[in-house]
Amino acid sequence: MTDTAIAASALGKRFGRRGGWALRDCTVRLPAGRVCAVVGPNGAGKSTLLALAAGLLGATEGELTVLGTTPAEARTRIGYVAQDKPLYPQLTVAETLRMGADLNPGRWDAAAAERIVSAGDLNPGSRVRALSGGQRTRVALALALGKRPELLLLDEPMADLDPLARHELMGVLMVQAAQHGTTIAMSSHVVAELEDSCDHLLLIGGGRVRLAGEIDDLLAAHTRVAADADADLAPHTVVESRTTGRQLSALIRPAGPLPADWRTATPSLEELVLGHLRNPGAPALTPDSASASAPDSASASTEETVA
């Protein structure tokens, strides 16, 4: 197992020869064992990135390494759940799991898959077509986790789930991460949905990476400041600034000590994300672009995970 789950460099995907770029210049590295939120507005390129990593699409340009090899080579070690949780409607729940066993010989963890399904109070004899949205998600997750993936790619996994099912299934995912050190990348356009469960963030806007890194590092690298309207924000990197009356409020990346008369606060993850999405011109912050690298506060080895 390598210590890098996903490494992309200048990755780009264009649909059709003349189509627009769904993803461009994407350079990111997701360390193994992390739970990564892939966040961005609808149509930002999140699904494209996940599908590329799952080996479902070929890249138009750039390089993509997944679990130390190509996405196609890593196919048996990747779990993927698409946004609409496709399943064969004519099969029963039990048959769907048996299919998972048959299609993933030598990898299948029948007990784990059945545990996820039975925790949802699902009748194994029910046809998939008769299931509710939350139940479908549960079966789709069981199918993906039964494969014992080292990397789990989830496209909008929690969309159209009620809060209870969302909490429960997120718990299932976190247990997976805690027990097996599974790297998880999940997309959402609602950052609050993922905030507590993820330790890594990848913010995509307009097909480009805007923020990437450990959430704690990203938060530590930014400061919300309030100062007099005539305050000079240079030499700090300004993500967003607004002047109201005599007051200037801004989201900045400090390049050094801040004047004592500025009032400062740590931004929330949501503020950080919204600030960057509202200001597409703001410079991106990714591990390569970070000049003053923040302390690696969130590095956690997954070995000591569970006792």
CB of 121 to other proteins, least distance (A): 17
Beta bridge partners, 211, equal 203, 285
Decide if residue 160 touches other proteins (CB under 8 A).
no
Positions in 68-97 near other proteins (CB under 8 A) = 70-73, 75-76, 78-80, 82, 84, 86-88, 90-91, 95
Query: Please, what is the minimum distance in Å from the beta carbon of residue 242 to other proteins?
Result: 22
What one-character-per-residue DSSP string does 185-231 give?
EEEES-GGGTTTT-SEEEEEETTEEEEEEEHHHHHHH-EEEEEETT-
By the 8 A CB rule, do 15 and 47 touch?
no
Write down the least CB distance from residue 4 to other proteins, Å. 17
Buried-state track 197-236, b at ≥16 Cβ within 10 A, e below 16: bbbbbbbbbebbbbbbbbbbbbbebbbbbebeeebebeeb
Q: Is 99 in the site for other proteins (CB under 8 A)?
A: yes
Within 10 Å of residue 287's Cβ, how many Cβ atoms? 14
**Residues 167 to 196: which contact other proteins by CB under 8 A?**
167-168, 170-175, 177-179, 192, 195-196
The answer to whether residue 35 forms part of the interface with other proteins (CB under 8 A) is yes
Beta carbon of residue 161, minimum distance to other proteins (angstroms, whole number): 12
Would you tell me which residues interact with other proteins (CB under 8 A)? 33-35, 51, 54-59, 70-73, 75-76, 78-80, 82, 84, 86-88, 90-91, 95, 98-108, 110, 143-144, 147, 167-168, 170-175, 177-179, 192, 195-199, 268, 298, 300, 302, 304-307
